[in-house]
């Protein structure tokens, strides 16, 4: 058994000199010294010791628990060469107003050296409503770009070659509609679906847990997702079908351990669903990817990313019988923590973002979004989004953080914390299993309650001064909000509604009707729905019409509301 401890295979307890030094340090350590507030625990209230040492590595087997980059269980990274071969993808999430406006922003970001696109959709698109639906009033183009029709999608990517860029789309219950629109847009550009690369979030489980954008109940949503996985495995082989997301779980107030555990539990639920639908695990698991938050507790975040890789690899190989190493390797995108940004002294958010981004890089992320300083107030301006991108470029080209692979591997502290986070996640997996799995735990409100509890604990710590947030409850200054914000003109809503209505007026109504009728029959018969989504989109049915069509069959989800 390969020991990590001191190179000679000796454990700390067997070394008299080390014991004596440790005793001397303990005698000299001032136990009356108190850290401010809650700083004797991580941001997630995980207990910390003042010092970690060789004894914290006892039990770690290098080969079994860490191994080399690119090798099972991938604790040190999924690629043998990591950033020395290729940097992470710098991917800034963007979308606002109309498709034409967002198209301009994409072109700006690509000119600034961004290497991938990431689409933010507005609330109506995320919930399955067209821009002109009464429920969309006041929401059109606000939180993202307004997309109701295939024409909108074509405008979004006008002049951008979909054969040479990868696109990530943060969309869930309406993900198959967006994918169908994207495929149809690419076809119109002459790019076949086989060549398309990108990622669909399509993680409905975390919607019920944290982000709360849905149409149908969990069970039919899982069927739609497995249909997408099966379709893409065959027809869009380079597409990442699900981006299993902890980001929103963390933003909703979870701890790091909860983010880790709930996200991976969701991942395993998709794997089980795929297997239950008759697919071979290695046919779809290599196309699953992850999306994590990077919060402000630097080492806890790094440990979380490392633990995530190890847990996924172990479960995929040992429990789900995956044989392809690509099914074992957890690839992930990271976004810095929006919830850590402050409206007070917003320029300080640049520093928060930089530390969080550095943690993501030291944790081995495959792609990264850095938040702009003004995102707590509004969608980012061009200037602020450029600073956020430059932050990544400074990490990549100036700090040297990517020059050595997993540079914190072997750190007494980081390895111990990695182990402890893995153990905390395993404990949650047991509790979820005891409830019958992820979907029953959603129905009984388990995740929602755990997250709300953690959010409230944190808020109380903030209120009583145990936690300090610079500029919010300490180091406060009187200030006027002086940064300039991006405004979404209300005229955009009217303009977009007119466009959608003109689109509906221009089409062949009979074609739309027959496409939607076939779509509904497929939903009832259990046939794969994805070709029907494509057919509906190409027949010019709108996002809202396609989404609404299945409500009579699948029902509409209502959340159990509790405080």
Partner 1 sequence: MARPIRILVAKAGLDGHDRGAKVIARALRDAGFEVIYTGLHQTPEQVVEAAIQEDVDGIGLSILSGAHLTLFPRIKQLLDEADAGDIVLFGGGTIPNEDIQPLLDAGVAAVFTPGTPIATIVDFVRRECGKRVEA
Quick note: the x/- pattern for partner 1 over 321-360, rule CB under 8 A, is ------------------x--xxx----------------
Q: Which of residues 9-38 bind partner 1 (CB under 8 A)?
A: none
Q: Is 381 in the site for partner 1 (CB under 8 A)?
A: no
Q: What is the closest distance, in whole angstroms, from the C-beta atom of residue 342 to partner 1 in the complex?
A: 6
Q: Which stretch binds partner 1 (CB under 8 A): 137-145, 351-359, 394-402, 406-414?
A: 137-145
> Which are the contacts of 33, defined by CB distance < 8 A and separation ≥ 6?
none
Quick note: the x/- pattern for partner 1 over 473-502, rule CB under 8 A, is x------xx---x--x-x------------
- Specify which residues 309 forms β-bridges with: none
Q: In what order do the strands lie in the sheet with 197-200?
A: 93-94, 117-120, 166-170, 197-200, 239-240
| 211 phi/psi in degrees, rounded to 5 | -85, -25
Q: Is 468 in the site for partner 1 (CB under 8 A)?
A: no
Q: Is 526 in the site for partner 1 (CB under 8 A)?
A: no
Q: Is 136 in the site for partner 1 (CB under 8 A)?
A: yes
The H-or-E segment that residue 289 falls in is: strand 288-294
Q: Which of residues 93-132 bind partner 1 (CB under 8 A)?
A: 123-124, 126-127, 129
Query: Which C-beta is closer to partner 1: that of 208 or that of 268?
Result: 208
Query: Which C-beta is closer to partner 1: that of 397 or that of 456?
Result: 456
Q: Is 377 in the site for partner 1 (CB under 8 A)?
A: yes
Q: Mark residue 45 as left, alpha or beta (left: phi above 0; alpha: psi -120 to 50; beta: remaining).
A: left
> Which are the contacts of 293, defined by CB distance < 8 A and separation ≥ 6?
246, 247, 249, 250, 251, 259, 334, 335, 336, 337
Quick note: the x/- pattern for partner 1 over 433-452, rule CB under 8 A, is -------------------x
Q: Which stretch binds partner 1 (CB under 8 A): 21-29, 50-58, 227-235, 468-476?
A: 468-476
Q: What is the closest distance, in whole angstroms, from the C-beta atom of residue 371 to partner 1 in the complex?
A: 13
- Number of other CB atoms surrounding residue 20 within 10 Å: 10
Tell me how far apart the alpha carbons of residues 420 and 431 are, in angstroms, rounded to a whole number: 17
Tell me how far apart the alpha carbons of residues 167 and 118 are, in angstroms, rounded to a whole number: 6
Q: What is the closest distance, in whole angstroms, from the C-beta atom of residue 373 to partner 1 in the complex?
A: 14
Query: Which C-beta is closer to partner 1: that of 154 or that of 381?
Result: 381
Query: Could you tell me if 190 and 136 are in contact, meaning their C-beta atoms sit under 8 angstroms apart?
Result: no
Q: What is the closest distance, in whole angstroms, from the C-beta atom of residue 376 to partner 1 in the complex?
A: 6
Q: Is 249 in the site for partner 1 (CB under 8 A)?
A: no
Tell me how far apart the alpha carbons of residues 455 and 515 are, in angstroms, rounded to a whole number: 45
Q: 160, 191, 472, 511: which one contacts partner 1 (CB under 8 A)?
A: 472
Tell me how far apart the alpha carbons of residues 344 and 524 are, in angstroms, rounded to a whole number: 52
Got the DSSP string for 488-545? --THHHHHHHHHHHHHHHTS-HHHHHHHHHHHHHHHHHT--SHHHHHHHHHTT--HHH
- Number of other CB atoms surrounding residue 43 within 10 Å: 20
Q: Is 548 in the site for partner 1 (CB under 8 A)?
A: no
- Please report, as ranges, the residues that interact with partner 1 according to CB under 8 A: 123-124, 126-127, 129, 135-139, 142-143, 207, 211-213, 251-253, 339, 342-344, 376-378, 452, 455-456, 459, 463, 469, 472-473, 480-481, 485, 488, 490, 558-559, 561-563
């Amino acid at each position: 058994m390969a020991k990590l401890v001191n190179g000679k295979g000796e454990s700390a307890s067997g070394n008299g000199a080390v014991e004596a030094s440790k005793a001397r340090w303990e005698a000299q350590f001032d136990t009356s010294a108190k850290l401010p507030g809650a700083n004797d625990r991580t941001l997630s209230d995980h207990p910390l010791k003042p010092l970690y040492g060789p004894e914290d590595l006892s039990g770690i087997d290098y080969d079994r628990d860490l191994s080399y980059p690119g090798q099972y269980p991938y604790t040190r990274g999924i690629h043998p060469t990591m950033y020395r071969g290729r940097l992470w993808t710098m991917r800034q999430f963007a979308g606002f107003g109309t498709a034409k406006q967002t198209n301009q922003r994409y072109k700006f970001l690509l000119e600034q050296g961004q290497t991938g696109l990431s689409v933010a959709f507005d609330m109506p698109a995320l919930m399955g409503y067209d821009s002109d639906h009464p429920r969309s009033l006041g929401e059109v183009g606000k939180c993202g770009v307004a997309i109701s029709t295939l024409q909108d999608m074509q405008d979004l990517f006008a002049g951008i070659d979909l054969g040479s860029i990868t696109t990530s789309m943060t969309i869930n219950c309406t993900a198959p509609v967006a994918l169908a629109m994207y495929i149809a847009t690419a076809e119109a550009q002459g790019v076949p679906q086989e060549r398309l690369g990108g990622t669909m979030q399509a993680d409905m489980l975390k919607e019920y847990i944290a982000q709360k954008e849905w149409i149908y109940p969990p069970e039919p949503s899982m069927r739609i997702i497995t249909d997408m996985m099966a379709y893409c495995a065959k027809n869009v082989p380079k597409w990442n079908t699900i981006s299993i997301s902890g980001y929103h779980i963390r933003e909703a107030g979870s701890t790091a351990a909860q983010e880790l555990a709930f996200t991976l539990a969701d991942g395993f639920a998709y794997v089980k669903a795929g297997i239950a639908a008759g697919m071979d695990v290695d046919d779809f698991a290599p196309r699953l990817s992850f999306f994590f938050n990077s919060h402000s507790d630097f080492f806890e975040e790094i440990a979380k990313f490392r633990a995530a890789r190890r847990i996924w690899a172990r479960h995929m190989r040992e429990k789900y019988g995956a044989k392809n190493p690509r099914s074992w390797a957890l690839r992930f995108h990271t976004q810095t923590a929006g919830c850590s940004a402050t409206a007070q002294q917003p320029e300080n958010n640049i520093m928060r973002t930089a530390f969080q981004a550095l943690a993501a890089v030291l944790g081995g992320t495959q792609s990264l979004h850095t938040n702009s300083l003004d995102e707590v107030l509004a969608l980012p301006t061009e200037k602020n989004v450029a600073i956020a991108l430059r932050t990544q470029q400074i990490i990549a080209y100036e700090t040297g953080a990517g020059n050595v692979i997993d540079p914190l591997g072997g750190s007494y502290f980081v390895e111990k914390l990695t182990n402890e986070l893995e153990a905390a996640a395993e404990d949650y997996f047991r509790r979820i299993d005891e409830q019958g799995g992820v979907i029953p735990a959603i129905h009984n409100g388990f995740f929602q309650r755990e997250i709300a509890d953690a959010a409230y604990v944190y808020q109380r710590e903030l209120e009583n001064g145990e936690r300090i947030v610079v500029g919010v409850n300490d180091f406060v200054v009187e200030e006027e909000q002086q940064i300039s914000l991006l405004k979404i003109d209300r005229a955009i809503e009217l303009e977009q509604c007119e466009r959608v209505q003109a689109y509906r007026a221009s089409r062949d109504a009979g074609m739309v009707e027959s496409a939607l009728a076939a779509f509904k029959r497929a939903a009832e018969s259990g046939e794969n729905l994805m070709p029907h989504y494509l057919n509906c989109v190409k027949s010019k049915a709108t996002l809202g019409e396609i989404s609404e069509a299945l409500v009579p069959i699948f029902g509409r989800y209502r959340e159990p509301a509790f405080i």
